[in-house]
Each structure stands twice: as structure tokens, then as C-alpha cells.
Amino acid sequence: MLSTPTELQAILQLAPEWAPVATSAAEEGGLNIFAFCNRLGAKALYLKAAALEEKRATFLSLLRDAYLRDHLSKMLQSNQNLRRFWSQRRLSAEEQRLHIISFTEELTQKMEAVLIKHLNQRSDDGFKVLLPAYLQRAVQNAAVDYIRQEWSWEKHTLQDMHLDPDQEDPRQNVADDAGHAPENLALSKEQVTHLNQLRRELSAMITDTSYPQEALTVIDCLFGLGLTGESAFGEEMTMRECCDKLNIFGETQARRIARCQVFLDKGLELVRQRLREKLPSIVDAWQGELNVNCASRRELTQQIELTEGEIERLIKNRQFSCLQELVTFDVLKPKRLAEIAEKGAVAAFVPVDLNSATVRDLMDILSLPKPTAKRLASERPFLHLNELVARGLISEGTLEQLVARGALVRRRVADRKRLDLNRVDISELTAAGLAEPQAKRIARGRPFLTWVDLEEFLCCDQSTLSVLRQKFCLGLTPA
């Protein structure tokens, strides 16, 4: 962001001692506030904000527009998770640009709020909020949360793709494996070494003919590692592009993608096994919590290394209130419990909405037979649980088992009179009773995925939020 003389003068009026730095920056590269703030450093900016009293709000406003917003925008534009997710969704460049603008505004507001909180608490280490590594981590967390929310909506709304029983849903690749993608390790300068080590190990595996080359080539293409002649460094491919490039066989496009997913899973398992032996520090970085009550068979196998027999017993006895119940119900031997706990296994009860859960979730989480699960999916929506027995879909005994396993029914009544908050004009917002500044702020922060996101962004009172809920709904994309 290029500064105007007025903006620069405003900063120097608040901090006249920085005039020599501004002069030096102007001589080397022009009056760029972003570069100027970078030269000063996070600690100097934080200490100046802490020292100011009456004019702190003015200084923070300049800092937000000149430093935070520019930093976050650049990081979001270069985030590999978002780029791959949007490319697989075939989003146009303009749609991606609109998403970046919305994300930037939302994260800027959040980071400013965190900074103000540290200033009010007079924290000695509050300057860390302004460090690029801290901002990078905030961007990465926001990107992963967004991808998981989008994927969850697709999973529960688009439902089943009529794949063979033994095939994994290829849509699950996008967000479910986000924690295992190699580029996720390169979140800051401190972790670039890990990525370089990983590339060296992958290069060695590709030249070793004892490894299945098809699986490793798929990883190379999907992540744009440039280690084989099939890919170029930094140019990531979608599943569809990878199938075309490598001529992966399949009668239909869905089967080709599913076969590509199998290669990806196999390749990732080979890489993990190699890194457990050669680079255990990266394995520690990959490790995260896995809820055994809703994890897929693939996750149970790859992340916490359960055997087929253990997985069958686990799914049969879901759900568990704590890990110790895995031993109580003879799912695992006592010595195995400590092993999976070290690998990130947890047990948290998960409610399963019969009106939105996929057939796979009905089978794996509620332990329903496949014919029953498919029949429930075809007969919904349901208004209440007793309706399943009244319509002869299941017995009373089965219903009791489903309730014990977390089954419930959420009603979804569509209200077509409500307008989409992510699409309406500012005039329609003000006509609904919102103040114009508040309406403009909503327009800047769109799109909102949930009402919780809107409440956190807007920081409004409950009466205003109630009016918004009554008169508007939340669509998925902006106009």
C-alpha cells in the first residue's frame, strides 16, 4: 500500500523520532508505509502503541491499514491450501479475489482486536501479534477452518456419489488430508528446513525402484514438487488434471478420481513410513488429534495405525465417552491404548443428524447395515425420531441403539422470504433497520459462513443479531 503525504505525516506526528527512518526509506524505495513499518519492526510498533494514550486509536488505525491488512492479504494470496482448494472447485480468478478481500478484512479485524487486548492488559510480549510468523499461523488456521467447513457442507449436502462400497469418497481428499500436505510444514521461516529435508527424502524414494512409482508420481504432481518429468515445481495439479496427465484408468471420471485417491493414500503412507525412520521431527509436526468416534477407516489406519480387526470392533461399539472404553468393550488390548493415545487418538461424543449425515456416516458412526442406511437416506427428512419407527423403517430396539450412539433429528424449515445477507445491497440492510456504518461493515466482511462468524465480526448486541436472523439468511457465496 503506497502512502500519501498525509498518511506519512500522521504517523510522523505521532512518532517524530521515526523521521530519520522515514527519510532513509524514502531515499531507498519511496514512501511505502508497509516497508516503513517492516523496517521499524514489530516491537517498536507495539511499544509506540503502548506509549500513546489519547491518540492510540489513530495510531492503531494507521497500523491496521498500513501493516496488518497488507501482510495478511499477501499471505492469503500465496496460501497453498486455498489455491489448491479453489482450483479443484474451478473458482474463477475474480471469485478467488473476492474471497481474499473478505478473508483479509475479517482477519485484519481479528488481529487488531487481539492487539488491542494485549495493549489493554499491558502484556510484555504483545508485540508477537505483529510478527510475520504469528500472522502466517493465523492465516493458515483460518484457511484450514474454511476448507473443513466447505468440505463438511459438501459432504452433508451433496451426499453420496454412488461409489463402490470399498471406494473412498474422493471429495474427502481436499480438507481431510490438509494436515498431511507437505507444504503445510512451511508455515514460517523456521520450518523451511523441514520442507527441504522432505524433498530430499522424496527424491531418494523416487530414484529407488523398490518403491511403487505410480503412488509417488501422484504425490509429485498433486503437490507440484517438480521431482519427476510429469510435474513442474510450484505448479500443483487437481485430481482431474493428475488423472489426465498420468493416464489413470477408469470407466468414469469418478472412478478415475477414486483410483487417483488410492494412489495418493498409498504414497502418503510410504512417505510417512520413510519419515518415521529418517525424520521423526516432521512426523511430530504432522501429529494431531483424531476423534475415534467419527474418524474414517482410512484415518484410523493411517494416523493411529489400527488393524482391520480393531477397526471393525471399534465401529461396531461406537460411540465412546473416553478412550478407556476401548479396553472395556474389548476393542483394544490395554497396552495398545497408550500407543494410540500417543499418536493423537481422543474420544469425544459426536451427535449425528439423521437428516444430513451421509450413508457412510450412518454406517460407520451409527453402525447401521448398508441397506438400512441407504433406506433412511432415501426417506428423509424426518420431523422426529419416533417417525422412523412409525413408518416401519427401523424397530424400537434399533432406535434405542441409535439414540445411545448419538442419533438425533434437526429440523430445517426453509424460509424463502428471507434475503441472503451475503448478497443484499447496503440499501436493503439499512431498510431492515441497520445503521449505515453497520451495513457497510457487513458488506466489507462478507461472505459469512455461520451466524457465529457474523457475531464475532460485527460485535453487535443480541437485539441487532436477532433482527438479522429474522430478516436474512446466510448463503454460501457473495454476489
Domain boundaries, the chain: 5-150, 161-286, 290-346, 352-408, 419-473
For the chain, residues with pLDDT lower than 70 are 1-7, 25-32, 152-196, 234, 280-288, 411-418, 452-453, 456, 460-463, 475-479
Tell me the C-alpha to C-alpha distance, in Å, between residue 72 and each of 102, 321, 425: 11, 40, 27
Q: Tens of pLDDT along 229-264?
A: 888 876 778 888 888 889 888 888 888 888 888 888
Please give the CATH topology (third level) of the domain spanning 352-408: DNA polymerase; domain 1 (1.10.150)
The pLDDT, as a whole number, for residue 196 is 65
Q: Tens of pLDDT along 3-54?
A: 445 667 788 888 888 888 777 766 665 556 777 777 778 888 888 888 887 8
Separation between Cα atoms, residue 411 and residue 66, nearest integer Å: 46
- How do 290-291 and 345-346 pair as beta strands? parallel
- The closest of 446, 417, 448 to 432, measured between CA atoms, is 417
The pLDDT, as a whole number, for residue 5 is 52
CATH 1.10.3470 fits 419-473, yes or no: no
The pLDDT, as a whole number, for residue 140 is 83
The pLDDT, as a whole number, for residue 165 is 45
* Opening angle at CA 334, ends 333 and 335, nearest 5: 95
- Please check whether the two domains, 352-408 and 419-473, share a CATH topology: yes
The pLDDT, as a whole number, for residue 154 is 58
The pLDDT, as a whole number, for residue 182 is 38
The pLDDT, as a whole number, for residue 475 is 63
- Do residues 180 and 83 make contact, with C-beta atoms less than 8 angstroms apart? no
The pLDDT, as a whole number, for residue 319 is 85
Separation between Cα atoms, residue 37 and residue 34, nearest integer Å: 5
The pLDDT, as a whole number, for residue 321 is 78
- Do residues 316 and 367 make contact, with C-beta atoms less than 8 angstroms apart? yes
